[in-house]
């Protein structure tokens, strides 16, 4: 069909195979262009992988099988593929929601055998042996951890958090700032804060005067505001300051239900205290950077207690968040020397 050649020409694609079937009749198939790897002209009977295009079809078919009772989303992979590495820990739901840890298929020339080999290696390396990724080790080294501390943390593994988190569902209701949610006949408005987590949904019942604040506002301690490996160029403390200003627009006399500690009132007073505490820490930290320091060198200026192995990760994240904020405000500069980050006042 000339239209196939025209399609390839207009799209600047290397080639295409097109089939047309009218009302379920016999298909007419034609090809145009070359295979980009072999540079051989495509034929109508050539076969090749179509990768992500299959996801929609596979997902729809899987859910149809679930409706028919022939498949369950919580089936283990080993229920259907008995010899898949660590398949007993991977469910159909994880496969469909891309949370299984199995890597994507490789290049266009990859074979099924190569894919199985790569998948096996990835699963064993990252979930069987529970090995910390190299990027995490470099991040910890950059923050000033000693080789002994890095080794101790690596021995604890990397995927432990996965065991206490339920799999992501296939369907969900997205909570957006300013949206509403009805629970038990009561209307709650979504108020999104940030800093402690990228998007933290607080729930406001204006009629009852109640704010479910979670970890965004705590009565006696400040939430952990950390800079981590997942978003190393972010400014979580800056986002947290902005969230304080945003939450201050809510009524002062709300009953606040925090994620830790007792319910309290006096929202504005608590917000002001948290804001002032962290800005004071920034001032003290800036003065401390008269000489180059690593993140771990700053613990004594930020925390009132000694930091042991169990708190090292959180303390490092919070120190980095403060140092990053000083960078953003133009009050500090960062320099990497042999993989270690050094900060000094600008």
- pLDDT tens digits, residue range 71-81? 998 898 888 88
> What is the structure's pLDDT at 123?
44
- pLDDT tens digits, residue range 81-95? 887 777 888 888 888
Question: What's the rounded Cα separation, in Å, for the pair 142 and 338?
Answer: 9
Mean local confidence (pLDDT), 242-258: 97
Evaluate if pTM is beyond 0.85: no
The residue ranges of every structural domain in the chain are 2-48, 53-128, 180-345
Q: Are 163 and 205 in contact (CB under 8 A)?
A: no
CATH number for the domain running over 180-345: 3.60.15.10
> What is the structure's pLDDT at 163?
64
Per-residue confidence at 248, pLDDT binned at 50, 70, 90? very high
Q: 266 in the Ramachandran plot: left (φ > 0), alpha (ψ -120 to 50) or beta?
A: left
> What is the structure's pLDDT at 210?
97
Place of tokens 């957006």: 176
> What is the structure's pLDDT at 47?
74
Mean local confidence (pLDDT), 239-261: 96
- Type and span of the H or E element at 114: helix 112-123
Question: For 11-29, b where at least 16 C-beta lie within 10 A, e where not — what string?
Answer: eeeebebbeeeeeeeeeee
Question: Partners of 202 in the beta sheet?
Answer: 191
Mean local confidence (pLDDT), 127-142: 79
Question: What's the rounded Cα separation, in Å, for the pair 4 and 2?
Answer: 5
Q: Which residue has the higher pLDDT, 114 or 59?
A: 59
> What is the structure's pLDDT at 120?
44
């Amino acid at each position: 069909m000339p239209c196939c050649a025209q399609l390839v020409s207009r799209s600047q694609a290397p080639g295409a195979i097109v089939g047309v079937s009218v009302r379920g009749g016999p298909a007419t198939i034609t090809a145009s262009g070359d295979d980009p790897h072999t540079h051989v002209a495509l034929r109508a009977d050539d076969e090749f992988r179509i990768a992500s295009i299959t996801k929609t079809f596979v997902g729809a078919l899987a859910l149809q099988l679930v409706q028919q009772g022939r498949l369950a989303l919580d089936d283990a992979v080993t229920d259907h593929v008995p010899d898949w590495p660590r398949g007993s820990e991977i469910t159909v739901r994880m496969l469909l929601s891309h949370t299984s840890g199995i890597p994507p298929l490789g290049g266009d020339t990859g074979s099924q055998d190569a894919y199985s080999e790569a998948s096996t290696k990835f699963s064993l390396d990252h979930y069987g042996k529970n090995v910390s990724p190299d990027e995490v080790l470099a991040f910890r080294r950059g923050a000033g951890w000693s080789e002994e501390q890095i080794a101790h943390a690596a021995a604890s593994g990397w995927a432990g958090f996965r065991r206490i988190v339920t799999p992501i569902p296939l369907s969900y209701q997205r909570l957006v700032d300013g949206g509403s949610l009805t629970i038990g006949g009561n209307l709650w408005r979504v108020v999104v804060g940030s800093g402690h987590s990228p998007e933290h949904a607080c729930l406001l019942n204006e009629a009852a005067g109640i704010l479910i604040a979670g970890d965004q506002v705590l009565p006696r301690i400040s939430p952990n505001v950390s800079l981590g490996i997942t978003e190393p160029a972010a400014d979580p403390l800056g986002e947290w300051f902005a969230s304080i200003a945003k939450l201050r627009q809510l009524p002062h006399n709300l009953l606040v239900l925090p994620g830790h500690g007792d319910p309290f009132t006096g929202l504005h007073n608590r917000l002001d205290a948290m804001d002032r505490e962290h800005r004071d820490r920034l001032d003290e930290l800036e003065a401390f950077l008269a000489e180059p320091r690593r993140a771990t060198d700053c613990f004594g200026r930020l925390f009132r207690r000694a930091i042991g192995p169990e708190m090292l990760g959180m303390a490092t994240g919070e120190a980095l968040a403060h140092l990053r904020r000083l960078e953003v405000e133009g009050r500090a500069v960062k320099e990497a020397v042999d993989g270690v980050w050094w900060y000094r006042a600008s």
